[in-house]
A and B are shown apart, each in its own frame.
Chain A
Amino acid sequence: MIAKPAIPDVLREPGPGIGKPLSRVDGPLKVTGQARYAAEFNVPGLVHGYIVSSTITKGRITRIDTAAALRRPGVLHVFTHENRPHVAWFDRKWKDEDAPSGSPFRPLYDDRIVHAMQPVALVVAETFEAAREGARLVQVEYEAEPHETDLAARRHEAFTPGKEKGGFEPPPKPRGDPDRALAEAAVKVDVEYVQPTEHHNPMEMHGSTVVYNDDGTLTVHDKTQGAPNSHSWVCSVFGLSKSAVRVISPFVGGAFGSGLRPQHQLFMAVMAALQLKRSVRVELSRPQMFTFGHRPPTIQRVALGAAPDGTLQAMIHEAVQESSQFENYVEIVVNWSGQQYRCDNVRLDYKLARLDVFTPLDMRAPGAATGVPAIEMAMDELAHALRMDPVELRLRNYTDRDPNQDKPFSSKELRACFAQGAERFGWSRRNPQPRSMREGRQLIGWGVASGVWDAMQGQADARATLGIDGHLVVASATADIGTGTYTVMSQIAAGTLGLPIGNVTFKLGDSALPMAPIEGGSWTVSSVGSAVLAACERVRGRLYKLAAKMEGAPLGKAKPADMVLTDGHVALAADPARRVPIAEVMRSGGVLAIEEEARSVPYYVKRAQHTLATHSAVFAEVRVDEDLGTVQVSRIVSAVAAGRIINPKTAGSQVMGGVVMGIGMALEEETFMDHGLGRYMNHDLAEYHVPVNADIGSIDVIFVDEHDEVVNPLGAKGVGEIGIVGVPAAIANAVFHATGVRVRELPITLDKVLAGLSRRSAA
C-alpha cells in the first residue's frame, strides 16, 4: 500500500455550496493509481477463471471435451453445462433491476447456443495464463442451426412490443390523419435512416473478484452500476441468503450502461468460488466485452410535411429495432419526435425484430440517441426543402406543452439553449447554401440539432452520521462510474449542513449500505441526491432542536426556523454573528453522534401532471476533405438546460464526454456483423473505432439557467445522457451543409461521403 499523501488538496478548495465547480473528491486517488477497480483486489490463494466462448451462433453443443485442458499444469477445474452446480430454475430468479420481459440468459445452463461467442465453459487455474491456455484446449463440438442476424431481413416480421420494462412508454396513439396530411403537404421529406450496432466499451473490462471468506460467505468485488442489483441477483440465482453475500464496487472504470445488468463474469466467478471454496477472479477479455449487450441496430422512417411557412402538418416516425430471441429489449425511440414538436397529424410506431444475437442493453441515452438523431436529421432536410433556417424551423414548431401527453413541461428552456448556443457559435453568420464555405480542399459546414432526455427519479435511501468531531459520513449504495457521484453527494451534504467539503465522506458501491437503484438514465442526482438532502436535513433538524434547548440559551429564544448552519456553527439567520459551534451544541445535548436515515420518493402527484425532460441545442462545425471524404469536427457548442447544476465542473465534463461519444456515433462507432457467420467482426479496440484525442476539436458547453420545482427538491435533472443526444444529427447536418451530400446511414465514414460526392458531381 502506498501511504504517501494524496496529491492535490481538493478538499481545501472554496465551496462547498451547491452550484460550485468543485474538483472531484476522488481525483487524488485516481491520479495516483490508488483507486481500486473490481479486478484489483488481490487476496492470498486467488485463482483465475477464463471463459470459453462458442464458435457457432445458434445450435447445440454435442460434445465437450475438457481432458486436454485439465492436463495442463495449474488448471484446477473446467465448468461446463454438464457439471455446473445447481442454479435457479425459474426465469424470475434470473431477473435483475434492468431486465426486460422474457427469459434472461443463463450461462452454462444447458447445451443450447443462442448467440455467437456464448460462454460455454469456464477454466479455472492457479494463474491467469494457465486459465487462458486451458480455455484454448477445451474442445467443443456443435450441431449448428441456421441463424439470422440481419435486421433488414427481419424488419417485415417485426412485432409491436408491450410495456416490457419499467421506464418504457409505448408510443402514444396516432393523432389526426398523418398519411393524408403528408400527401397534401406543400413541402415534405420522407426518408429512411439506418443506425448500426454499437458497444459500450468502457475502458475497464468487466471483472469480478469473489473472495471466499473463512465462514463460507462471499465478498464480491464487481464491476457494476448497482452493487444492490448484483447482490440480489447473485443471491437469487445461487439460492444464497442475503447475509451470505456482500457486493462492493467503490470504483468503476466507466460503464455507459454496460454495468446495468449482472454480466457473465459475475456468474462465473461466484459459481467457481462456491464450488471450489476458493477466491476466484474472472475478467472478460476485450472481445468478450462484445458478448453481453449493445446499442441495437435500428431502421427508421421519418416523414414530415409542412406548410410553406414551416408549420408542421404531418409527422410519421417509425422504427424497427433489433432484439434477441429470448428477451424483449425496448427503449423509447420515436416518442421524442411527438414530444419535441407541435403537430396535429402524428403517427409514431416502434417495433422489434427477433434476431439470433444477445439481448441489447441500455447504452448512454438509450433510445433517444437513436430516435432523436433521425427526427433531427429529417428536420434539417425539411428546413433545406423549405429554404428556411433550421433553428427558425424548430422554433416555428416549438411547443411548451408535451403534445404526446397533453401536459405542460415542468420546465423547458430549450429556446434559451438555441439562443445562447447560436450566439456562442456565431450561427447568425451562416450562409444557408450548402458548399458555401471552404478553405482550400476543405469544405466547411455548420449544422444544428436539438436533444432531449427524461428527467427521471427513483426511490433511494441515504444515511447521514454527524460526529461530534464535525465529520459527516453519508452513505448510499449507489455507484460512481466516473460521473461524479462521490463529489456531488458530498457537496449536497456539505451544503446542507454548512460544513467544509473536507469534513464529508460519502460512501457508495456497497450492498450493505442503504438501498439505491442502479446508476443510469441520469437519475442518480435526482434519486440519491434527494435522499442525501433529506437525511442531512433531518440531522440539521436535530441540531437545531438541540441548539434551542441549550443551557444558557446562547441563541436566545430562537426556534429551529430562525437558525442556519454555516461554517460548522449553528447561527441565527437574522444575525449570523451569533453562533455556537456544532460540537458545543452536541456536547450540551449529550450526544456524540447524530445519525439519520431517509428515503426519498419522487413527487408522484406533481410529476404525473407534467412531462419532465432535459433539453439541449447542439451546434457543430465540420471540415470535410473533398478528395478524401474524411470528416473532422472542428467545433461543437452544446447548450444544455437540465435544471439546477450541482457542480458545473463535473457536469460540464459529463456533457463533453457525451459530445465525444456523439462524435463517435456520427463518424466512427459501428460493430460490424458478418451475417454469414452471425458474429461481430471487429470485436476489439483496434477495429471498433472510438474517438481519440486527435479526432476532437473544441467543445464548448453552456448550462442555461432553468428553474424547476417539480423534478425534485434539488431542482436538478441530471446530465449523464443529454450530452450525446443532439450531437450525431448536428454533425450529420453540418456534413450536408459542407458537402451537399446527405448520408442517412451512421456512422458517416469517408466511403459514404465519397460515394455521395461522386454521385453529386456525376449529376
Chain B
Amino acid sequence: MIKKISGPLVIAEVEGAKKGDLVRLGGKRLIGEVVELRGKNASIQVYEETSGLKIGDEAINTGSPLSVELAPGLIGGIFDGIQRPLEDIVNVSGYFIERGIDVPSVSREKKWSFVPSVKEGDVVSAGDIIGQVEETPLIKHKIMVPYGISGKVETIKAGAFSVDETVAVIEGQKISMLQKWPVRRRRMLLQKSPVDSPLVTGQRIIDTFFPIGKGGAACAPGPFGAGKTVIQHQMAKWSDADLIVFVGCGERGNEMTDVLKEFPTLKDPKTGRPLLEKTILIANTSNMPIAAREASVYTGAAIAEYFRDMGYNVAMMADSTSRWAEALREMSGRLEEMPGEEGYPAYLGSRLADFYERAGRGKCFGKPERDGSLTLIGSVSPPGGDMSEPVVQNTLRVTKVFWALDEGLAHKRHFPAINWLLSYSLYLPNLSEFFSKEIAEDMAEVRAEAMKLLAQEAELEEIVRLVGLESISKKEQLVLFVSKMIREDFLYQSAFDQVDQYSSLKKQYYMLKSIVEFFVKGSPAVEEGVDLEQLKKSEVVGQIAGARFMKDEDVTNLPERVASSINALRSGGRHG
C-alpha cells in the first residue's frame, strides 16, 4: 500500500520486499524497483511518470529483480531504459508513450531456426554453447547453457522454435532460447586478459594518436556543441566491433531517430552488410522517466556482456553518462541521502568504477573455448564544460583513454574536436606490438614525431602572439607550417564526406608519414638555404592536403613523392 509519493520516489508497504525487487504500482501497474527498506516501508524508484498515483494504491511485489531478457530478437531493435521494445509500443499506444505498458522485450511469436551443436548424451555445463540461431547475416546467436544448470543433455532438437519453446532438456530441466538476467549483476569472464589489439574506428585522431583497445574503456568529456554525440556515432558506425550496443541515455530523441534512420542504409565497413544487423539501441531520451535512465546503462551492459560471452567483440557506447549520474543524484536527493560533492551521492565514484570495470577481454565461460571482449565508451557532459566536476574526475580515474573535447576547436569547426595536447591513451604500450607488426615498423616513431611537432607548435604560437612571426627562425616557421598540415590535413576529418569519414589504419599511417617526411626532409633543406616560401608552394603540399579524399592505394607512395620532391628542391637549391 502506497504511503508517500514524491516524483519518481514512492514509499509503500510491500509484502516480502527484498532490496532490488520489482514492484507494480497502482491501477496502471507502473514499474518500480525497491531501493531502500526501512521497517515496514520500502522506498521504490518508479520507472514511469507517477502522476495520478494515490495514497492507498496497491503495491504488488513481483518477487524478482529488474532483469533483461536475453534471446534471439534483440539485434536491430530499439528498447527503452528497462528493455521495453519501442517499436512494439507504437502498436500499443501510438506515437506517444503511454504509461504502464506491458510488452515482452523479445517477440514470443517469431520462430527462429535452431541448429544444435551438441548431441543427446553430451555432458554440458553453464556457459557451454549448445546450438545457434542465425539472428542476422552478421551475428550467429549462440545459445548457451544458463547459469546454474549442468549435466547430461537428455533431448535436443533442430528446427524452428519461438524463444520460449523448449529446445533441449538437460538433467530434467527444460532449456529454451530465452534467458533472464538481473541487470545490476555483472556477467563474469572466466579469465580476464590485458588489451592487445586496437578497436579500429577509422577516425584518424583516435586510431593513430589516442587508440582504444578491444576490451578497453574510454571517455569523451566535453561541453555541449563539442561533438560528443558525433564521435559516439562515428565509433558506432565505423568501429570493427562485431556488435554495437548504443545507449542513448538522457539525450535527444532526434539523435536516436537519426541512428534508426541512418544505420539501415549504412554498410558495415568489414562485411558490407547494413549496420543495423549488428546494432542494438537503448533509448531513454531526456524527456523519458528519470529512474529508467539510471537503469538504461545497466540494461545495455547486461546485453553487451551476454553477446561478449558468445565470443564476440562487443562495443558499447553510453551517451551520456552525466545524465545517468544526474539521475542517481536526483534519486539520492529524494531518498534524503547526505549529498557528496556537487550534490552527487557519495557512492558516485564507486558506481562509475563498477560500470567501467565491466569492460574487458578474456576467456568466456563454457565450451568451446572462446575469447570475447567488451569495450566501453562513455561520453560525459560536464556543466559549463568544467572538467573538474565530479563525474569527469571520477570517470578519468577508471578509464584509460581520455578524448578531451575542446570547445575552441569546435568553434573553429575543427572536427573531431579532440584536443591533441590534453588527450591521452594509456593503451599505446599494449598496442605497440600490433601497430609495428600489422601497420608499419616505424608507426610509433612517426606518431611521436608528429606529437612533438604539435607540442612545439603550441609553444611557438605563444611566442608569435607576443613578438610576431618574423622573430622566429625559418626552421621554426617550418614547424608551424608542418604542424598546421597535421592539424588541417590529418587530424581534421569530416564525418559527412563519403571518403574522408573512414580511413584505414594503413592509410592513416601513410598520410601522417608523408607529413612527417615533409618536415624531416624539409628542415635540412631550409637549413641549407632552400627558400621556405618555395617549399610551402611545392606541389606535394597540395597532394598531402588532398590525401583525405584519396583511395588507400593512391596514398601508399605519397611519402616517397614528398621525399623526392623536396630532394629535387634541395639539389636545385644547391646548383642554383
The yes or no verdict on A and B being binding partners is no
Residues of B within 8 A of A (CB): none
A interface, CB within 8 angstroms of B: none
